[in-house]
Amino acid sequence: MAATKSAISFGMIYIPVTLQKTNRDTSTSFNQLSKETNERIKYVKTCPNCTQELKSDDIIKGYDFEKGRYVTFESDN
């Protein structure tokens, strides 16, 4: 599938040119592992005041409009 069709022309010479779209993921991703056991590291979300583990349903988003003051947003679903 051609992305762009064009041509290079000078004098009596006409060279058709086609640019093709390409998608190629060249990134490499790594997991963080424990040095001793080679197990994947888990990230636990906790409240800094009560140190309890929080579930996804207990977390909302907030915009810090002033230091320590937030406008909060909750999902409807």
Q: How many structural domains does the chain have?
A: 1
Examine residue 15 and state whether it is found in any structural domain, yes or no.
no
7/17 Cα distance (integer angstroms): 5
Number of residues that this document lists for the chain: 77
Question: Model confidence over 14-70: pLDDT tens digits?
Answer: 999 888 877 877 888 898 888 999 999 988 899 888 888 888 888 889 999 888 899
Q: Is residue 16 part of a domain?
A: no
Is there a domain that residue 50 lies in?
yes
Asked whether residue 22 is assigned to any structural domain, the reply reads: no
For residues 22 and 33, the answer to whether their CB atoms sit within 8 Å is no
- The residue segments making up the domain with residue 47 are 42-77
Q: DSSP character for 77?
A: -
Q: Kindly state whether residue 61 falls inside one of the protein's structural domains.
A: yes
CA distance to 45, 46, 67, 69, 77, per residue, from 74 (Å): 18, 19, 21, 16, 9
Give the pLDDT score at 26: 81
